[in-house]
A and B are shown apart, each in its own frame.
Chain A
Amino acid sequence: MGLLSDPNRRRALTNLLTRLNTPICVLCYLAGVAWFMGLAFEPFTLRTYMSENAMGSTMVEERFPAGERALVTAREFGAHKRKSGAMPVDWLVKTMQSRGLEVYTQSFSRRLPFPDENKERYMVRGTNVYGILRAPRAPRTEALVLSAPCSPDNSNNQAVGLLLGLAQYFRSQIYWAKDIIFLVNEHDLIGMQAWLEAYHHTNITGMDWAPLHGRGGSIQAALSLELSSDVVTSLDLVLEGLNGQLPNLDLANLFYTFCQKQDILCTIQEKLQRSDWDSVSGYSQAVQTMALMVLKQASGRPWGDHGLFLRYHIESATIRGINSFRQYKTDTTTVGRLLEGMFRKLNNLLERLHQSYFFYLLPSLSRFVSIGYYMPAFGFLAVILLLRALDLWVQLGALPSVTEDGVGSRALPLQSSSPSLVSILTPVVISHLTGAALYTLPVLSQELAVQHFPVSETEAVVLTAIAIYTAGLALPHNTHRYSSIAKQGWRVLKLVAVLYLAVLLSCTALINFSLGFILALTLVPVAAFVTPHVPKVLSAVVMVLLAPGCTLLYCVFAFQELQEAPVSLIDGWMLFLSVISQGMLDHALYGSLVYPLLALFIYPCWLILWNILFWK
């Protein structure tokens, strides 16, 4: 007879499963964590290489000459910006027209759900200005975008200046096969979202924008430039976009190739390249870089203006110039040459970048970890949930025989082995209703809160969210009053909860590995060990400490530590509050999915587990 259909063997297997369940779960958890830490170990990573044939091995001699003139333009732009207080639209239109581009403007406006205290804006109204350089001989089917943000204070002037300088230089060349769109967006991400929505004729976020009068073809790639100083010491590449989406790795490879060619210092996560990756300090730097990337990707917010292009399958990255205290400085002409080289290579593309990886982690600019290598780390954690589910299933299957022998009545096993659907659904429904309240109430009730408490709208929203979150902890004392199922019914609920969590986390990890992994790190132990029979107070404390809210708090502290800017407890708490408000704003403004996921699915799941802990 087969292994699984032979009852004796099956009983032996299930006994093995039940006996060894906890050790295997612990082992899997340690294996998952160790696998993740080992990803950054140099012999396990692969060197980056250019996969796209069209952007192949040949180099062009870049000849951009006008770095100084770009700086002069930047100063003019800064002066006009200060004079007009907002974006100097007329000056920009005139300058772009004098450089031979087709110039158009787009106005947009948006009222945020509650004021943004980080950027100090509530009613946003602005104008985007963009100029299109038409390809001299090609049909207008494809386009490339170079964008620079117009920041309200004195930053990013040099970026706009360099953009205009490059526009003038590019206009005099005849080898462009795609239209190049030079975009200056106001109010950084909000302006960019308005422009992209208008360009692609979609309206996802409910923003109010004027339609675009001029259009290029379908955008193949986009680069966003942030440059705030005349000379830079290093260029930082920012890849993480909305919902943790990353551009094709070929774009990062392209940037790195040109950094090496122009001899510019290039960084990722603002950490320098080094030559001794296999030493201990090298390994720790690689782990820090990778952890920073994981944290940034998990937050689901776009970390540069490029982040919103990714949703439209446009590969994009942000290049940020950093001026720190270093002896070797790079001037604007060299940065311009780097951009010229990148654009010439992108010009040679015949189809969208698709040859290299879309899912990867970068421990450094020259090394990468692809999805095939990092997914097993999450797989180990998901296996724990499945083992627990199997264990519960076995226990549920074994129960009727026990009670039958013990009680000897026909009616009871039926009742205890299959509690009614309603009684299982009750905690589930109530948890999800709490989650829905967490999602909708903070924004809706901000006016009410402002009337009754001396707080600003943002604080009201955030504090309401935390209040609802904490109120959920009191639920078990209410729910189990409605349940009339026997003591063993918690097993079914836990089975449902564990499987639900497994599905949730797996789906999250497929789209945004970092978010799935971080949530799994804290939620899987909770889901695995919680039963009504563990010591209540200790487990309650542990569960609260491993709840999604506290996970967010730890992530904030870890992020600050990794960026070498550690914060004190109070500052960390304020940062935590601002992170919550940013998360809600990102969801409302750009469609980031982290906040809905946490509020509507992860938090109810945790509440169900909390219910199980307090089962009576």
Chain B
Amino acid sequence: MSLYPELSFNVDHGYLEGLVRGLKAGILTRSDYHNLAQCDTLEDMKLHLQSTDYGSLLTAGNEDLTVSLIDHRLKENILTEFRCLRSHSLPPLSTFLDYITYSYMIDNVVMLITGALKQRDVAELLPRCHPLGMFDQMAAVGIARTPAELYSAILVDTPLALFFQDAVSEANLDEMGAEIIRNKLYKAYLEAFYKFCQESGGATKNIMCPILEFEADRRAFIITVNSFGTDLSGVGRSALYPSCGRLYPEGLRLLARAEDYEQVKAVADYYPDYKLIFDEPEAGSSRTLEDRFFEREVKLNTLAFLEQFHLGVFYSYLKLKEQEARNIIWIAECVTQRQKSKIDNYIPIF
């Protein structure tokens, strides 16, 4: 690591950073959302999106316009942009971008395992995997019977092998086990990514660490909330909490002991940022806890664009774009299901 990474940053990543900042300018604004929310049919939405950076994304092809088609096109769009960035990138940016894809790979693996447990056909499952997390050996995941087999036979060649050390066990795979594998993998993944960002230093560290800390804490909260009513014990839970968040170590210990939602809320009260999230929303707003977490995430990600010469913009851009896709899908769903009252529940970005 050189003394002033800003000096040489543009040599390797200047073009891509410029590109991603240009792409960021195409993210839909509040007025775009406002216009979209006024639409009565998907055709109207299509007309509106035409005047944005999406251009003729939805007009190509003459299939009937459905929400799933929009979803598919949006995902494809993100994928194209990401592939373009990835194929032009140099280390350390390429490693950084690979790290981003690992989280999707984890999700895909777990989805394939649960799919295989339910005796689904692989050919039916594959198209439902997130395209950013595709890898060669993916198709064979369903064959494995135990996590150990999964690791030693299939995932050992993939980048995910690094995260697998804690998750190896001889127990048979079941649905609960798959969930636990997901969380263990995620824990290892987040910690590794956090370490990578910390080692990068400079602005990358300043930007990415808060985002990843938040991500880790969000997982800890959600694991805790979701574990109520299952047979996952406090000890079992604490093995799943990522240890790179702001909750570590005291907050995590408290969370492990929590028995109901009120106690989780009490833990969050110690942290001003999370207190805001857990506070009762004002009357009339129908935001769920998840929505408020997303809102906070969007806020953190928009901050990334305030600094230059760091890799965080790539992560943030991808996440914001995903949020945008979620927003558009939400609006589209509301439009097709005639739920105009809920249409404003999207999370505006800029």
A associates with B: no
Q: Which residues of B contact A (CB under 8 A)?
A: none
Q: Which residues of A contact B (CB under 8 A)?
A: none
